Structure 1
Amino acid sequence: MGLFQIFHGNNKKKSEYKKATYEKGPFMIKCPFCFKKFKTEQVVFRASHAEEGDPEYEKTIDELLNEYNRKAGKSALPEINSVIKTQDIPEKNKTRVDGVLIEIKDKYDISTSERLCPYCHNELPITAGRGPSKVISVVGASQVGKSVYMTALLYVLEKYTCERIGASLIAGSSEYNDEIRENQEKIFDNNIMLDPTPKQHVEPLIANMKFKNDKIPPLTLIFYDVPGEGMTDKGYIEKHGDHIKNSDGIIFLVDPLQMRALRKKISLMNKEVKGDFTEKYQEPKDIIVYFFENFISKQSHEKTSIPTAVVVTKSDMLKNLRDEEYISENSNIFRNYNHEKFFNLNEFENINGEVMKFLEKADAPFKGAMDACFKTTGYFAVSSLGCNPQNLKIDENVGIEHIRVDEPFLWLLYEMNYLDGRRD
């Protein structure tokens, strides 16, 4: 990783460069659940055993964890193993990696490595404290394809992209690994679409990005996929939306069918869906209303500085638009591109410009609201599957093609100073 060339929207000169600057440890831990920040020495541990008759090690109700669960709309837990604070643990019974406390032996000489947030008692990712944590919220209206996009993104990152940028993607835990694998198997092996994300408490999906260059600290990625119905429900957002204002990056997905001007123009491959889709789809600007009402309006200058990738999904559908007024048949949107070793700024500027012009024509109110409310934006178009499923099934004869799926995420990495930006 060498020099970075900075390009934030249209505000920076093409000649500006800066060297990559990675955060240096010791790293503060950001809890993926309550978003409190604390030093690594402040972690507590869940005992790996219970001892009847010992008040410190008897099973007990975890009030902090249940308080979090109640706030999140989850069920309270029964008695579980106790929480161990580390102040009274002898130094010889503490294990550190990269200066971070990751395991202890308790007074019974029994080990535990289940580290907890001291504020909400949720279990922390294994890499917490050994590198920075970045919260990425994936937002958008109902039916925009957030879950499918996330499944495709993690698949593409793990199988192809990480190798190109000198990294490896590792699931945050076996539980999250099973969830990812189940969704990927459903889509890519069985050709079946995912069910919509239920409108309930949303658990983070945690992955670790480990770099081959050991001078680069590992990155803990905390993804939140918000149900579309929840994005416009004030009560739901008040209860579950803390992660959005605590985000380090936002991926804002927009479905072409949400754009009123395009609904009757796009020739859908699913012949069973006909007529005006006005009632079926929320408008993209509806989501910005949430951002402004609940978050942006409470900030200085009423603009958020969180880097936000605006992503037009299902870009393969635009081939059926057959209207040069909106997009050319030879557009870069329909051509896949692999960013090798660095984030190609020329390629970004091309796709960024094309998608901005497309949105200005297809949904000018939305584009105008983005300009008014978001300071740092990049515009992209992706297709998670490369085809339009029918009756929740993917045609095996057509096959799956990922088009520019990883590009919005790589732009966020670039904005976070974790990926070089250069011109070819």
Structure 2
Amino acid sequence: MTRPLARVGIPGVPSRREITCPYCFAPVAPQRILFRCRGQAGRRQGCAPVLDRELAEYTGSTAGASLPPVFAAPGRRGRADCPGCGLPTGNRACPHCHNPLPSAYCDSPGRIVALVGAKNAGKSTYIAVLLHELMNRVGTELDASLVACDDRTIERYKRDFARPLLEERRLLPTTASAATGPREPLVYLLTRTRRGRFSRPRNDSLALVLFDTAGEDLRSREVTDLHLRYLEAADAIVFLVDPLELPGARAGVRDAVPGPRAAGDDPDSEPLNVIARVTEALRQRHGTRPGEPLPVPVAVALTKIDVLRPALLRQSALHRSRSGRGVLDLDDRDAVDEQVRALLHDWQAGQLDTYLGQQYADHALFGLSALGGVPDRGRVGAGGVRPYRAEDPLLWLLYRFGMLDGVRPGGG
């Protein structure tokens, strides 16, 4: 039985007295956070824009890098007076890359969740569906709101995720490599209302940073070291594994999923090799000795489980939906974990589970489907997007972060 982590933080993860920039992933002490002048607007006589060289270096372009200047100041309650024009501002910025640090992110406990998987694992599709579920059905279940922390998150979610997949029903393109430019994270504030039987309701907030990776960024250790520094800052990892990349699984559904899979000829894209490279990066951050389990909680999810469900026995835990009661059903969690573990061993992929158990102090196995059906010629299937248990990994992480209660209905 797993226990939720203490609210003060995850063992081995820096205290939230330090803020991790969600853009360059540098740790920042609160007193070193910069402020940015509000600038000129209408009749307001603020500072004129200047070229921000640090921001231009981060983005690789001077376009959009001419902004009101940043300055250092003690600040009180997240505000400071600009020394140039004297106007107060609450706009905060990272001292390293000069990207904005949203107030909600600075003022709430934060967790960076890295989405990792080989090419074609469905990372972008999963992010689109997960966020939509949290904003709607799952958010209602949890009595929670999910609000973007900045305009960039709002725009990127609409442009790159919601509009093409959920509105136009087009499959999302493969994530571009980090080598082509810096990746924009999605930064949200998740707030839950917790209602005790004998106490007044209270609101618990968690800043959530979601980051997806291109499959080719995990093909070599050199690229990983250069472009995926965020792995060293991640508070949790979600590994997405396409089961159709596992020969044992694909053999059972060959008729349902036409077309050859190329991954068998590309060992760099095999799930175990991808996870091993990420594990190496995490060990560098934590400084753990070989054989010492890493403290980062890891969720490993088999995607596209809708293709596999018909072949499973009717009593399989993967045929059941969650109870949807605003808690984590630990009996259900154990049953799904054991079912996925059994499937991996049946598919001659048991070494994946063995490796995770050797390298991580806490990992859990999941089966989910973001789309709920097989796509048709680059588009979502006729039934539309019908996610199945897509929220399970995040609910488990919220439990581990102390944001969600766990229960055992069976009394175990």
Aligned to 1:193: 171
Give, as a single letter, the amino acid of the residue that structure 1 aligns with 2:235. D
> Equivalents in 2 of 1:319, 1:341: separation in Å?
25
Shift of 1:347: 1.1
- Report if the CA contact (8 A) 1:249-1:308 is conserved: yes
Cα distance in 2 between the residues matched to 1:18 and 1:376? 11
- If the length of structure 1 is used for normalisation, what is the TM-score? 0.82
Aligned to 1:299: 288
For residues 105 and 414 of structure 1, the distance between their equivalents in structure 2, rounded to whole angstroms, comes to 42
CA contact (8 A) 1:44 1:118 kept: yes
Q: Which residue of the partner structure matches residue 245 of structure 1?
A: 232
Give the match for residue 368 of structure 2: 382
**What letter corresponds to residue 352 of structure 1 in structure 2?**
D
What's the secondary structure of 2:95's corresponding residue?
Answer: coil
- Residue 402 of structure 1 deviates from its aligned partner by 1.1
The 1:268/1:176 distance shift into structure 2, 3 A limit, reads farther
In structure 2, what is the equivalent of residue 14 of structure 1? none
What SS does the corresponding residue of 1:252 show, helix, strand or coil?
A: strand
**Change beyond 3 A, Cα 1:280–1:195:** farther
CA distance in structure 1 between the aligned counterparts of 2:344 and 2:8, rounded to whole angstroms? 34
- Rounded to whole Å, the distance in 2 between the matches of 1:187 and 1:67 is 32
Q: Which runs of 5+ in 2 are unaligned?
A: 10-14, 195-200
Q: 5 Å matches for 1:20-419?
A: 21=7, 27-49=17-39, 57=47, 59-69=49-59, 74-76=60-62, 79-87=66-74, 96=77, 101-102=78-79, 104=81, 108-182=85-159, 183-200=161-178, 201-213=182-194, 215-271=202-258, 273-274=259-260, 278-279=264-265, 282-296=269-283, 299-300=288-289, 301-320=291-310, 322=311, 327-362=312-347, 363-396=349-382, 398-419=383-404
Percentage of identical aligned residues? 24
RMSD over aligned CA atoms reads 2.8
Q: Could you list the runs of 5+ residues in structure 1 that have no partner in the other structure?
A: 1-6, 9-16, 88-93
- Residue 275 to residue 41, structure 1, CA distance change in 2 (3 Å): closer
The CA distance in 2 between the partners of 1:114 and 1:153, in whole Å, is 29
Look up the match of 2:198.
none
CA contact (8 A) 2:33 2:94 kept: yes
CA contact (8 A) 2:115 2:123 kept: yes
8 A Cα contact 1:130 1:218, kept in partner: no
CA-to-partner distance for each residue in 1:110-141, whole Å, 9 max, x for gaps?
Answer: 34332101233211122133211100000011
1:210–1:219 contact (8 Å) kept in structure 2: yes
Deviation at 1:260, TM superposition (A): 1.8
In structure 2, what is the Cα distance between the partners aligned to 1:251 and 1:190?
27
The residue matched to 2:265 in structure 1 has which SS? coil
Q: Is the 8 A contact 1:134 1:221 kept in 2?
A: yes
Letter of the 1:369 partner, please give it.
Y
CA distance in 1 between partners of 2:124 and 2:261 (Å): 26
Q: Distance in 2 between matches of 1:235 and 1:18?
A: 35
C-alpha displacement at 1:364, in angstroms? Answer: 1.6
Q: Could you say if the C-alpha distance between residues 280 and 314 of structure 1 is closer, same or farther in structure 2, counting changes exceeding 3 Å?
A: farther
Once residues 219 and 103 of structure 1 are traced to their aligned partners in structure 2, the CA distance between those partners, rounded to angstroms, is: 25
Contact 2:105 2:207 in 1 (8 A): yes
User: Per the alignment, in what secondary structure is the counterpart of residue 379 of structure 1?
Assistant: strand
In 1: Cα distance, 2:385 partner to 2:279 partner = 37
CA deviation after TM superposition for structure 1 residue 60, in Å: 3.9
Q: What displacement does 1:85 show?
A: 1.8
Q: Tell me if the contact between 2:121 and 2:242 (Cα under 8 Å) persists in the aligned partners.
A: yes
Deviation at 1:275, TM superposition (A): 7.2
Aligned AA for 2:227?
Answer: H
Distance 2:106 2:218 in 1: 31
Counterpart of 1:311 in 2: which secondary structure? strand
Q: Using the TM superposition, name which of 355-364 and 338-347 deviates more.
A: 338-347
Alignment partner of 2:136: what SS? Answer: helix
Deviation at 1:95, TM superposition (A): 6.1
- 1:395 deviation in Å? 2.7
Cα deviation digits, residues 127-175 of structure 1 (max 9, x gap): 1332111000000111000000011100111101122222210012222
Q: Deviations over 1:245-278 (max 9, x none)?
A: 221111111111110222232135454x247762
